[in-house]
Structure 1
Amino acid sequence: MSDLLAIGASGVKAYGRALSVVGDNIANAQTDGYVRRTVRLEEAPAAGDVVLSRNSIRPGGVSAAGVTRELDQWLVDDARTASGEAARQSARLNWISATESALGNGGNDIGATVTQIFATADQLSANPNDATLRRQFLNNIDESASAFRRAYDALSSMANSAAMEVSSAVDQLNTDLSALSRVNDGLRRARAGSTNEATLFDERDRLVGNVATAIDIDIHYDANNAAIVRTPAGVPLVEGNSVATVNLGVSAGGLLSFGVAPATSLAPASGRLAGLTDGAAHISTQLAALDSLAAQLSTALNSAHQAGVDANASAGKPLLNFNGSAADLTATALAIADVATANAAGSNGNILAFNAVRTSSGIEQDISAFITQQAQIASAVRAQEAAASGRRDGAFAARDAVGAVDLDREAADLLRFQQAYEAAARTIQVARETMQTILNIF
C-alpha cells in the first residue's frame, strides 16, 4: 500500500514539474532567444522482494530526471554565422546608401553647375561684353564651389555619424562580453538539468549571438558548458574569469581600427563592426575623390581663365580658391570687368578657348563617372545584402524548426500531462481509501 502511495506521489511531483515547463514554454513563446524545453521523465524502479514472490521488482513510479533544451547545436552555430554576415552587409549598405543619397543630391548639383559654367561661357563667347552674361558666369563659378562644399559637408557629417554608431556598437560589444562572463560564472554553479541551468543556457546563447553579430568569433565550451570566446586569430575575449576590452580608433581620414586591450589588433571580417568599417572606408574614399575632383576643376578653370585678359587689359585672375579640400573650395571675389574673355586673337578669344577645357580636363566626364561608380557600388552591395539576409532567414528558420515553441504542440502536452497528473492524484486517493477500508475492518 505504501508503494501505491509512493507511486502516486512520484507522479504528482514529476507531472507537476512537466506542467510547469509547458507553462514556461507557452509564456515565452515570443521571447527572443528562448529555446523550447522538455522534462525528461524516467521510470523510477525500486528493487526488492514482494511478499510471497521473491526476486521481484517493486515499481517505484516516475521521476523527472531534468529539463532539456530542444536544439540542434549545428543549426544554432550556422544561424549565428549567417547572422554575423547579414549584420555586416546591412551596416555596410546603410552607409553606402547614405553616401549615394548625399552624392545623388549634391553630386548632381556638382555636375549640373560645372556644365552650366561651360554653357554660360559658350553664350558669353558670342557677346563677350554683355554684363549680364559676365555676372552669370561668375555666379555659376560660385554655385559650383558651393555644390562641392555641400557634397563634402554631407559626406563629412556621415563620417562623423558612422564613427558615433561604431563607438556605440563597441560599447555594446564590451557590455555583452562582460555579461557573458557573469552568465558563465552562473553556469559553473547551476545544478545540472535544472530550470535555472536552462535559463542560463538561453542567456548564454543570446549573448554569444550578440557578440557574433558584432564580430566574427570562435566558440568553444568548457566542462560546465560555459562559453569560451576567441577571435579567429585565437585572441581570447571571454575565457575563464578573464574578459577582454575591445578598443576603437578613428583616424583623421575617418578610417576605423579596433584592438583588444592592451595592444592586440583586431580586424573584423564579419559582423556589424566589419560592415561599419567598410562603410567608413567607403565614405573616406569618396571624400578623397571629391577633393581630387575639386582640385581638378580648380586647376583647369584657373589655368584657362588666367590665359586671357580682362576688360581692363589685365591678366586673368584665378576663378577658384582651392586649399587642399573640397570643403574649402570657394569662388574668387571678382568684378564683372575681371572676367578674362579676351586674348591676342580677339575680345572673345579666351572665352572661345574656354570650352576646350571640357575635353582637355575631362572634368564633366570624371564627375559623371564618380556619381555612376557610386550608384554601381550601392547596387552591388544591395544584392549582397539581400543574399546575406536570405541566407540568415533560412538559417533562422531551420534553427527554429527544432527549438521554437509550437503552441499547438504545447497545448497537446498540456492536456497529456494534466491527465497524467490527475491520474497520479487519483492513485493517491485510491491508496488512501483502500487503507481506510482495511483499518475499518478492525
Structure 2
Amino acid sequence: MSDLFAIGASGIKAYSRALSVVGDNIANAQTEGYVRRTVRLQEAPPAGDIVLSRNSIRPGGVTAAGVTRELDQWLVEDARTSSGEAARQSTRLNWISITERSLANGGDSINGSISAVFATADQLSATPNDPNLRRQFLANVNDSAGTFRRTANALGSALDGVAVEARGSVDQLNTDLNALSRVNEGLSRARPGSTNEATLLDERDRVTESIASMMEIAVSYDARGIAAVRSASGDILVGGNEVATIGLAVSEGGLLSFTLNQANLFQPMSGELAGLADAATHISNNIAGLNALAEQFSSTLNAAHEAGLDANGAAGLPLLNFTGAAAELVAFARAIAQVATANTTSNNGNMLAFNNLRGANGIEQNVIAFITQQAQATAAARAQEAASSGRLQSALAARDAIGGVDLDREATDLLRFQQAYEAAARTIQVARETMQTMLNIF
C-alpha cells in the first residue's frame, strides 16, 4: 500500500513540475530569445539499494529528470551568422540612403544652379550689356557655390552621424561581452536540468546573437554550456575570466577602424560595425567626389571668365574661390561691370565661348554621372539588404519551428498533464480509501 502512496506522490510532484514548465512556455510565448522547454519524465526504478540497507524495495512511479530546451544547435548557429550579415547590410543601406537624400537635396540643386550659370551666359551672349542679366549671372554663380557648400555639409553631417552611431554600437558590444561573462559565471553554478539553467542558456544565446549582430564571431561551448567567444581572426573576446574591450578609431577623413584591448586593429567582416565602416567609406568617397566636382567647376568657370574682358576692357577676374573642399567654395564679390562678356573680337565673344564648356566631359555631365552613381549604389545596397534579410527570416523561421512556443501544442500538453496530475491524485485517494477500509475491519 505504501508503494501505491509513493507512486501517486511521485506523479503529483512530476506532473506539477511539468505543468509549471508549460505555464512558463505560455507566459513567454512572445518573449524574445525564449526557447520552448519540456520536462524529461522517466519511470522511477521499482527497486534498488538505498543508504544503510541493501536490496530494499523502493516504490516505482515517475520522476522529473530535468528541464530540456527544445532547439537545434546548428539552426541556432545559422541564425546567428545570418543576423550578422543582415545587420551589416541593413546598417549600410540606412546610411547610403541618407547619402542619397543628401545628394538629392543638394546634388540636383548643384546641377540646376550650374545649368542656370550657363543659361544666363547664353542670354548674355545675346544682350551682353544688360545689367539685370549681369547681376543674375553673378547671383547664379553665388548660388552654385552655396549648393556645393550645403551638399558638402550634409555629407559631413552624415559622416559624423556614422561615427556617433559607431561609438554607441561599440559601447553596446562591450556591454554584451561583459554580460556574457556574467552569464557564464551563473552557468558554472547552476544546477544541471534546472529552470534557472534553462533561463541562463536562453540569455547566453540572446547575448551571443547580439554580439554576432555587431561583428563576426566564433562560439564554442563546454559541457556546462559556458560559451567561449572569439573574433574571426581567433582573438579571445570572452573566455574563462578574460573579457576583451573593443575600441573605435576614427581617422581624420572619417574612416572607421576598431581596436581590440586598445592595441590590435581589426576590421569586422560582418555585423553592424562592418556596415558602419562600409558607410563611412562610402560617404567619405562621395565627399572626395564632390570636392573634385567643386574643383572642376571652379577651375573651369574661372578659366573661362578670365579669358574674357569686362565692361571696362580689363581682363576677367576669377569668380570662385576654391581652397580644396566643396564645403569652403565661395563666390568672389564682383561688380556687374566686372562680368567678362567680351573678348578681343566682340563684346559678347566670351559668353559665346561658355557654351563650349557644356560638352560630354563638362561639369554638368559629371555632376549627373556622380548622382547617377550614387543612385546605382543605393539600388545595389537595397538588393543586398533584401537578400540578407530574407536569408535571416528563413533562418529564424527554421530555428523557431523547433524552439518557438506553439500555443496549440502547449494547450495539448496542459490538458495531458492536468489529466495525469488528476490520475496521480486519484491514486493517492484510492490508496487512502483502501487503507481506511482495511483498518475498519479491525
Question: Is 1:423 matched with 2:423?
Answer: yes
Q: What amino acid is the match of 1:114?
A: I
1:18 aligns with 2:21: no
Give the Cα–Cα distance (whole angstroms) in 1 for the partners of residues 397 and 222 of structure 2: 28
Query: Which residue in the other structure is 1:393 paired with?
Result: 393
Q: 2 CA distance for matches of 1:318 and 1:359?
A: 22
SS in 1 for 2:359: helix
Residue of structure 2 in register with 1:354 after alignment: 354
Q: How far is 1:7 from its partner?
A: 0.6
Per-residue CA deviation, residues 55-78 of structure 1 (Å, 9 max, x unaligned), is: 998651000000000000111110
Residue in 1 that maps onto 2:165: 165
Query: Deviation of residue 361 (structure 1)?
Result: 5.4
In structure 2, the partner of 1:176 is 176
CA-CA distance at 1:8 after TM superposition: 0.7
Residue 330 of structure 1 corresponds to 330
* 3-state SS of paired residue (1:39): strand
Instruction: Map 1:214-293; keep pairs closer than 5 Å.
Output: 214-293=214-293
Which residue does the alignment assign to 2:318? 318
Quick one: which amino acid aligns to residue 42 of structure 2? E
2:229 partner SS: strand
1:75 paired with 2:75, answer yes
2:212 maps to 212
Q: Using structure 1 for the length normalisation, give the TM-score.
A: 0.97
Give the match for residue 52 of structure 1.
none
2-structure distance, mates of 1:360, 1:37: 68
In the alignment, the residues of structure 2 paired with residue 350 and residue 415 of structure 1 have an alpha-carbon distance, to the nearest angstrom, of 93
Deviations 1:221-268 (A, max 9, x none): 123211100001101000011110100011111111101113111211
SS across alignment from 1:35: coil
What are the ranges of 5 or more consecutive residues in structure 1 without an aligned counterpart? 50-54
Match of residue 34 from structure 2: 34
- Matched-pair contact (CA < 8 Å) for 2:19–2:418: yes
1:99 aligns with 2:99: yes
- Residue pair 2:40, 2:65 contacting (<8 A) in 1 also: yes
- 1:366 CA displacement: 0.6
* Structure 1 equivalent of residue 186 of structure 2: 186
| Conserved 8 A contact 2:89-2:384 | yes
* Distance in 2 (alpha carbons) for counterparts of 1:439 and 1:59: 22
Distance, in Å, in 2 between the alignment partners of 1:440 and 1:360 is: 114
CA contact (8 A) 1:45 1:57 kept: no
SS at match of 1:47: coil
Contact 1:291 1:326 in 2 (8 A): yes
Q: Could you say what secondary structure the match of 1:355 adopts? A: helix
* 1:357-372 matches, cutoff 5 A: 357-359=357-359, 362-372=362-372
Identity among equivalent pairs (%)? 68
Amino acid across the alignment from 2:47: A
- CA deviation digits over 1:78-124, x for unaligned, max 9? 01111111111000000001111110110000011111111110110
What's the TM-score once normalised by structure 2's chain length?
Answer: 0.97
Aligned to 2:52: none
Distance 2:290 2:31 in 1: 47
In the comparison of the two structures, how many residue pairs are matched? 437
Q: Give the whole-Å Cα distance in 1 for the aligned partners of 2:364 and 2:220.
A: 56
* SS of residue matched to 2:30: coil
User: Distance between the aligned counterparts of 1:227 and 1:148, measured in 2?
Assistant: 52
Q: Is the 8 A contact 1:296 1:361 kept in 2?
A: no
Secondary structure in 1 aligned to 2:342? coil
Q: Secondary structure at the match of 2:340?
A: coil
Distance 1:432 1:291, change over 3 A: same
Once residues 350 and 196 of structure 1 are traced to their aligned partners in structure 2, the CA distance between those partners, rounded to angstroms, is 85
* Structure 1 residue runs of 4 or more that deviate by more than 4 Å after TM superposition: 55-59
How far apart, CA to CA, are the structure 1 residues paired with 2:222 and 2:263?
A: 27
Distance 1:48 1:349, change over 3 A: closer
Matched-pair contact (CA < 8 Å) for 2:6–2:59: no
Aligned to 1:407: 407
Q: RMSD of aligned C-alpha atoms?
A: 1.4
1: distance between equivalents of 2:392 and 2:268? 19
Are the aligned partners of 1:300 and 1:361 in contact in 2 as well (CA < 8 Å)? Answer: no
Stretch of structure 1 that moved more, 431-440 or 61-70: 431-440
**Residue identity matched to 2:129:** N
Residue 109 of structure 1 is matched in structure 2 by 109
Q: Is 1:134 equivalent to 2:134 in the alignment?
A: yes
Q: Distance in 1 between matches of 2:147 and 2:118?
A: 16
1:360 deviates by: 8.0
